[in-house]
Amino acid sequence: MSEKPLLNKVAIVTGASRGIGKGLALAYAEAGADVAISARTIPDLEATAREIEARGRKALVLYMDAYDYPSVEAVVDKTVEHFGKLDVLVNNAGGSRNVQDGWKGFLESSYEVVDEVFRLHVTSPYAAARRAAQAMIRQGTGGVIINISSALGFYPSTRVQNYSAAKVALNEMTKLWAVELGPHNIRVNSIGPGITRSATTEKLFADAEAEEAAAQTVPLRRLGEPRDMASMAVFLSSDAAQWISGATVMISGGQRYT
């Protein structure tokens, strides 16, 4: 793979204000792409944008509420309007208030919890991917869509059933979209991070001791870093992966969930 495998490409990274999303956005800039970044926290996005520009690439800051489908679609529309094209969409926006609120099982979860999780992790990426695919088809130049899933989408957990089920659904949709969009030269893949340093893990681990205990559950004995996900995303977006579509790649340091 060349030093700048995405030179002059245009990428969207949702949920790019911090954590994995910020790592993805910076990696795309380092790979030569201009990057549209979206989230609800504009000051954090602006800080990310400055780091993208420091790498010699252009950044576009866009507000997005992942629960609001018109807001999601507008990110794609504004990116195409601003840059004149779209080559890559990374559906990274995630997290969930209810996931952090108790990791509840089937008997304890309300309808509202299920609706919220699926809206954020299934229907919102669906809205973004459909809008992006439509733009890519109009361009006639193909493109790449990457869904950021979870290791729990490969190994669902009874402790966090709704989130696991949503990520399973997203992985399966990835395969279906790949089949439908393949004739348009649009590749679709998903990445499933294991326990990775992020805003969510900061809330889950109260102190260094708790974080170290979590790291010891990983065969490689460390937590994932945003760069671990970013390197795979850049690869999947490059010509080096031009015959990879419909794949679901778990990046978890060898960890399996039960």
Active site residues: 163
Q: Which helix (H) or strand (E) holds 171?
A: helix 161-181
| Residue 196, C-beta contacts closer than 8 angstroms, at least 6 positions apart | 19, 20, 223, 224, 225, 226, 228, 229
Three-state secondary structure call for residue 205: coil
Q: What angle do CA 74, 191, 246 make, to 5 degrees?
A: 85
Residue pointed to by tokens 């504009």? 42
For residue 190, CA distances in Å to 110, 139, 196, 237 come to 28, 23, 16, 11
| Nearest CA-CA partner of 17 in 25, 9, 5 | 25
| Residue 243, C-beta contacts closer than 8 angstroms, at least 6 positions apart | none
Evaluate whether 232 touches 251 at the Cβ level (below 8 Å). yes
> Environment class of residue 28 by beta-carbon count within 10 Å: exposed (0-12), middle (13-18) or buried (19+)?
buried
